[in-house]
Structures are given as structure tokens and as C-alpha cells.
Amino acid sequence: MEKLEFKEIQPLTSISAVLDLARLIARVKGPKRVAVAAAEEAHVIEAVNEARIEGLVHPILFGNPDRIRRVAAELGVRVQNLEIRPAKNPVEAAALATQAVSRGEADILMKGLVHSSDFLRAALNKEWGLRTGRLLSHVFVYEAKGYDRLLFMSDGAMNINPDLRTKIQIVENAVTLAHVLGIRTPRVALLAAVEVVNPEMETAVEDAIIAKMADRGQIKGAIIDGPLALDNAVSEEAARIKGIHSPVAGKADILIVDNIDVGNVFYKSLVYFGRIRGGGMIMGAKAPLVLTSRADPEEIKFLSLALSVVAAERLPYAQS
């Protein structure tokens, strides 16, 4: 059946709209198959089971069958509804789950009870991984009270200390995900502590370079500016008070942070202090990767699956 990727859609402005689109895709095309690496973890089983009951996904659980069955039983999940494939340990589970996606037996790869780095190294394996030649980077999509559109934040989970080249690809991946959600020309803010280009702040200088490259058409499909402080990126009032004239100021769709520490603290502040709704995924691979951390709320895992269902269908390079 033809993919729905090139169909123009109205820009999605809320997490509920992302979930509705995932439901529509699953209804029309059937559930997406999710390979879960080391699935013997309660929150993961809960999230995939909820997505299964909704008809969004068909889970394939890799790991220790006895433990998976025990955790499922404790949760009251009917074991006969689960497809389980044995693996000796978490690293082997990550390898087998990745290979299943690589062979086209699954559309989405999800991390369970395995270290992020082991999970990501499996996806990056040169022989049987999910490389496309693109950078892999994480994007978190969420809605914030009082903001009239979705926000995308990257990269708080994969690239540790990106250099200029890597940062450009992080921007491009986030822009592609915005396109997937119908946002045709997203506004990208390259975040820094200040909005002046201070030569002593190396990453702010890089932001200015990226903004200039975008002005010259070297990065397409988005309006990009930086460095911008967070308040000026998302508050027109703040931008006005500071006298900042920028097509992005106060209207950002995408927030790009300098490194994994900033992004991770940003993300966890949203979850723990803001209690926001959202989901994330890794872009750049042959299939969406769901990389949530063990302590993440179950709803974030579920919404990450919903986002990945949409991406598996609409991302031009996803093999699904």
C-alpha cells in the first residue's frame, strides 16, 4: 500500500493531534510492529500493551521469556497476546531487536531494560544496524501551557558534545520531524545564555554561523536564528523588551541546545516540574528509535510510540 508520507496535512499543533494521526495511520494501514530490546521492564510492557490495545502497534518483545511473562502477569497483561523472542542478555536483546528491524520484520525499535549506549551501538552497527548515512539525533516533541504550537527540543539524549557539523545535522533532523508533523517552515531557535554573539562563547559563535548558513539557503526548509536565549525564543514580550528583531524570536517551533547535559536537564525539568505531555524519538535511522529512560512516566513512553508510528509512516527514509 502507498505510504502516507507525501500527503500534505494540516500542521499538528498539539500532542492529541499527533495521537489522533497515529490512530488514523494504524486504522488505515494496520499497527506498526515494534521490536522492544530487553522488554522485561514494567513501564515498557505497560506502554507497549496500551499502544497494542489502542491498535497502534504490534509488539515483539526480545529478552528473557520467563521474566517478561512474570512482569506481564504482575501487570495483568495477557501473556498470550505478546510475541516473545528469547535473548540471553540485554546486549543480545538489543542486537536481535535491531536485526529484526533491519530485516524489515519490525517498523520501530524501542529500548527496554538495556543501557542507552548499548542500545544505540546496536543501531549504529555497521553490518546489521540501522544506519542511513545520516546523523542519528534525539528530538523531544511536547506541548507547553499557553504556547499555541508544538515545541521540538534537540538533542538531549544522543549526541554528547556536538561540533558545528553535527549541530547542523541535529537542526536538519529536527526540521524533518517538524515537516513530518505538517509544520512546513518551522522556526528554529539556537539556544544560548545570551543573544549577543560573544566571541568568547564558542557555541554562540557556531549558532551565528548556522543562522548565516540558513540565510544563504545552505540549510533549507526552516527559518533559523541564533544565538537566542530561551525567553526570547518563546516569548514575544521578552523579545520586545530586549529589542530583538528576529523572525524566530517569540515564535520558535524548534529549540536546539548546545549539548546533551543542557538538553537532558531541560527535558527532565519539563517532565518533573512542568508535567508536560510529549514524546520523543531518534531521527536519522532506517526506522524510528524510541529511547526513553527507565524512570520516564509511562505516558511519555506511550506518546513516544505514537510519535514513532507517525514517523514510521511519514518519514521519507523510514523503511516501514
Which positions lie near ligand COD, rule CB under 6 A?
A: 116-117, 120-121, 124, 135-136, 157-160, 291, 293
Q: How far is the C-alpha of 22 from the C-alpha of 257, rounded, in Å?
A: 28
Residue placing its CB nearer to ligand COD in the complex, 185 or 293: 293
Backbone angles phi, psi at 263, to 5 degrees: -65, -40
Residue placing its CB nearer to ligand COD in the complex, 68 or 136: 136
Minimum Å gap between C-beta 259 and ligand COD is 11
Minimum Å gap between C-beta 4 and ligand COD is 27
Residue placing its CB nearer to ligand COD in the complex, 228 or 255: 255
Look at residues 63, 1, 282 and name the one whose alpha carbon lies nearest to residue 169: 282
The residue to which cell 529484526 is assigned? 100
What SS3 class is residue 137?
strand
Minimum Å gap between C-beta 155 and ligand COD is 8
Residue placing its CB nearer to ligand COD in the complex, 25 or 262: 262
Minimum Å gap between C-beta 162 and ligand COD is 9
Residue placing its CB nearer to ligand COD in the complex, 159 or 235: 159
DSSP code per residue over 170-239: HHHHHHHHHHHTT-SS-EEEEE-S-SS--TT-HHHHHHHHHHHHHHTTSS-SSEEEEEE-HHHHH-HHHH
Minimum Å gap between C-beta 157 and ligand COD is 4
Minimum Å gap between C-beta 78 and ligand COD is 30
CA-to-CA separations, 2 to 7, 28, 257, in angstroms, rounded: 10, 11, 36
Residue placing its CB nearer to ligand COD in the complex, 13 or 264: 264
Burial of 27 (0-12, 13-18, 19+ CB in 10 A): exposed
Other C-beta atoms within 10 Å of 131: how many?
14
